[in-house]
Amino acid sequence: MIIQIFQIDYRRLLSIAVLIGTASIIPRRTTATIYENTREKRKDIVSRDDEFENLDFNNLTRENIEIYFKIKRRQQLDAIGTLMNFEKYEHKYSMIYKIFDKLCKTIENSRQILTKKDPKQVDDVLNSNDPVLIKNTFHIIENCALFSNIALKLPDISKRILNEQIKWIDYFRWCSEFSTKSQLIDEISMKMFNLASQQLKIIQREDNFMNPYERKNQLPTNRLENAQIKSKPKKTTNVRKGPRMSRTEF
């Protein structure tokens, strides 16, 4: 049984950009550059069908799910990297708004479908033979991951948009809780959802929480250069607990 899972085609996210005059922007990477160490395994669980990727649920194991989400995470990072390179603020804002809108509609649609399913089946997706249940569960997790990435990597614009669309935060709160309880996500995704929940103040922030992508945490270029000149390497033995975000994560 092979099911088309790619609800939001990340290679087509930029089709929205055509409508706002930024069609010349091209993603930095494509699916072909996915992690080298998953390439061989990927052949066994993912098949190509035109512009979509399909997950073979006849081979649905926890390991394969982890590989699948690594693929999706890479694609999401590529799309978000392109968004971050938009030069004009209004283009970036418009694009992110449209993506959030699409994400929330997809999450709500899948939620409505799952509410009609047996709760026991929803809690045991790995052993399910119900394609509708499996597909919509993965839709929710994928879209929750993209929502998290945007909220973390583009925090200032996201804050402005979500302050105007409070209900969208409620969608993220629900899908984050659902994804965590599903026990299908890996530790990286768990950490990302936790950090996004802190960023959006859904949960209390850790004492050492700091998002390096927020404008307030970024030094102006001249100050950054001076700081690099004056800075000296320091050794520290302090270990801070709790998840924290860096620019190299996710």
Residue 83 near residue 93, CB atoms below 8 Å: no
Residue 53 near residue 46, CB atoms below 8 Å: yes
Q: What element of type H or E holds 192?
A: helix 187-199
Count of alpha carbons within 13 angstroms of residue 46, beta-carbon side: 25
Residue with tokens 């975000």: 245
pLDDT by 10s per residue, the chain, length 250? 444 444 455 445 544 433 333 332 323 333 333 334 444 444 444 444 333 355 565 666 777 777 778 888 888 888 899 889 988 999 999 999 999 999 999 999 999 999 998 888 888 887 888 888 888 998 899 999 999 999 999 999 999 999 999 999 999 999 999 999 988 888 889 999 999 999 999 999 999 999 999 999 887 655 545 555 555 555 555 555 555 666 556 6
Burial zone of 249 (CB within 10 Å; 0-12 exposed, 13-18 middle, 19+ buried) = middle
Cα-Cα-Cα-Cα dihedral sign, residues 235, 240, 245, 250: positive
Structure tokens at 42: 């990927």
Domain boundaries in the chain? Answer: 2-199
What's the pLDDT score for residue 68? 79
Residue with tokens 């089946």: 121
Structure tokens at 149: 């990435």
Backbone angle region of 189, left / alpha / beta, with phi > 0 → left and psi within -120 to 50 → alpha? alpha
Q: Global pTM?
A: 0.72
Structure tokens at 217: 């945490």
What's the pLDDT score for residue 191? 94
Q: How far apart are CA 87 and CA 65, in angstroms?
A: 36
